[in-house]
Amino acid sequence: MSAPEHFDIALIGSGSGNSFPGPEFADKSIVYIDRGVGPAHIFGGTCLNVGCIPTKMFVHTATVAENAKEEHAKKFGVDSKLGGVGFPAVRERIFNRIDPISHGGEEYRASHPDNANLTLIRGTARFTGPKRLAVETDGGTREITADTVLLAAGSRPAIPGIPGLKEAKPLTSDTIMRLEELPESIAILGSGVIALEFAHILDAFGVDVHLIARSEALLRAFDEDIARRITEVASARYHVHLNASTTRVRRTASGVEIDLEPSDPAADEAPRTLTVADILVATGRTPNSDLLDAAAGGIGIDDAGRVMVDPYQRALDPSGQVLDGIYSIGDLSSPAQLKHVANYELKVARHNILNPHDLRRSDDMPIPAAVFTDPHIAQVGMTEREAREWAATAGREIRVARQEFADVAYGWAMELEAPGDFVKIIAEADTGRILGAHIIGPEAATLIQVLIQAMSFGLSARDVATKQYWIHPAMPEVIENALLQLA
C-alpha cells in the first residue's frame, strides 16, 4: 500500500474557506478539497450558489413584482398592473451573474500562479483517522495526511423523516431556484427563515403558496412580537397552516398529497389532506459532519451534528479537550449558520493558525440576523423574553421601547399602516446599555446596523440618540424615536 500524500495544511470546503489561502501561507503546501454544493456540486459554497446571494437577488425581483401589483400601486395613485413574471428570464439573469464567479474561482484555485503551493482536489473527504483523510474523486480514492486541518465543509438542506417525503423527491433550496418553470401551487414545509423568504418569492411570482408550520407561530425562535406580526402578515397573504404536523407525503401523477394533523392533540381539528403541484422542504440545514465522518478523526460532535469547537475555532474531542492542529468554521460548527459569522470565524481561525501564541476569540461580538421576506426582519441580541429572564436572575431592570414605522414621516411616504411594522429596542434601565433590537419593516437589515454598532462598541441608548444628527425625514428616524423613549 502506497504512503498517503502529506501536506502542511488540509482545507476542506470552498465557501468561507476559500478566503483562507494567501501569501502568508506561500511557504506551506496546501491541499484544498471540495465536493461542491447542490446536485451539480458547484464550487464556491452555499452562500454564492444556493443560498444568500441568489435568494436575495430573487427576493429583490419578487419585491419589484409585488410593488407593481394593482392593489399596492393604487395606494400611491399609480395605475399599474402586473402582467406576469418571466421566471426563466429572472433565473438566467441571476445565474448568468453567479455561475461565472463560481467557475472563475475554481479555475483560479486550480491553475493560477498565485496558487502554486496549492493542490485542488474535487471530491468528498472523510476522516479515516486523526488528521488522515480519504478523498473520493472521479479518478479514485486519494489518501491525505496534514499537520493542520481546517474544516469548512458547511451544511445541506435537512429532510425530515416523514413517511413518503424522501420518496416524493421534494424541492429544497438547493434545487428550486434552477427549475425550468414554477409550479402552479406549492406547499412549503417549515416556518423559519428559508421558508418565509421563498414564500415571498414564489407568491410574488404567481405561485399559490401554502406554509405548513408545526407551531402556533412563524419564526418562533424570534422575539414574540416579531413572530406574532409576521404570522399575521403571512396569514393575510398565503395559506398558512399553523399547528400542523405532516404525517405522510405522496407524489402522484397530478402533484403531491400531504397528510396533516394537529400538532397539539388537544386541538379540536380533524386530520386533512392538502393537494398541491409540488413541495419545498425548508425545515433547516444539517451540518456535513456525517459526510466527513468527523468522529473517525477523533473530533467531537454535538447532539445537533455540529463539530465541537472552542471560542478560538479549535476543534474539540468528544470529552471537550482541544485537538491540536484541527480547526472548524461556519455551518459545520456554528449554531448561527450565517455567512457573516462564517467569514468572521475564518478570519479568527486564519489568525490563530498563523499566530498560535496570540489567539483571538470569535465570540466577542453580538450576532445579528435578517430575514429577507416582506416585510424585512432583523434582530440582534436578546429577545424581550430573554432580557426579562436575565434581569430577574441578575437583579437588574430593563426598559423596552417600541416605535411604529407609520409614526415617522418616511413611514407616511411609504403608506405604512399602524399598528404594523415596528422597531423594538431593549436596554438596561440604569445604564442604557442596549441588550437587544428587533425590527420588522422596510430595509430592516440596513436600519439595524446602527444598533449593532452601538452594542458592539458599548454605546448607551442616550448617546446614540442624542450625540449625532439624524437626517430628516429619513427612515432611520424610527430608530432615533425608539432610542429617545429609552433615553
Question: pLDDT of 403-435, one tens digit each?
Answer: 999 999 999 999 987 679 999 999 999 999 999
pLDDT tens digits for 350-371?
Answer: 999 999 999 999 999 999 999 9
User: At 158, phi and psi to the nearest 5?
Assistant: -85, 135
The pLDDT, as a whole number, for residue 268 is 74
H, E, C per residue of 121-180: EECEEEEEECCEEEEEECCEEEEEEEEEEEECCCEEECCCCCCCCCCCCCECCCCHHHCC
Q: How far apart are CA 351 and CA 347, in angstroms?
A: 6
What is the band of 1 on the pLDDT scale with cuts at 50, 70, 90? low
C-alpha dihedral, 330 to 336 to 339 to 341, nearest 10° = -80
How many whole angstroms separate alpha carbon 256 and alpha carbon 397? 52
Query: Which residue type sits at 31?
Result: V
pLDDT band with cut points at 50, 70 and 90 for residue 28: very high
Predicted local distance difference test score (pLDDT) of residue 434: 98
User: Cell digits for 316?
Assistant: 474539540
pLDDT in tens, 158-193: 999 999 999 999 999 999 999 999 999 999 999 999
Cβ distance 440 to 230 under 8 Å?
yes
Average model confidence (pLDDT) for the chain? 97
CA proximity to 217, closest of 232, 236, 239:
232
Nearest to 52 by CA among 173, 171, 181, 152: 173
Nearest to 447 by CA among 437, 432, 456, 457: 437
Q: What average pLDDT does the segment 264-284 reach?
A: 91
- The confidence score (pLDDT) of residue 417 equals 76
Give the predicted TM-score (pTM) of the model: 0.96
Give mean pLDDT, residues 448-476: 98
Q: What is the CA radius of gyration of the chain?
A: 24
Q: Percent of the chain having pLDDT more than 70? A: 100
What lies within 8 Å, CB to CB, of 482 at 6+ separation is 401, 402, 403, 423, 424, 425
Please tell me what DSSP assigns to residue 414: T
β-bridge partners, 437: 380, 425
Give the pLDDT confidence score for residue 328 in this predicted structure: 98
pLDDT tens, 300-354?
Answer: 999 999 999 999 999 999 999 999 999 999 999 999 999 999 999 999 999 999 9
472 tagged catalytic: yes
Residue in 41, 60, 112, 472 annotated catalytic: 472
Strands 272-276 and 255-262: antiparallel
Contact (Cβ atoms closer than 8 angstroms) between residue 276 and residue 186 = yes
Average pLDDT over residues 254-281: 92
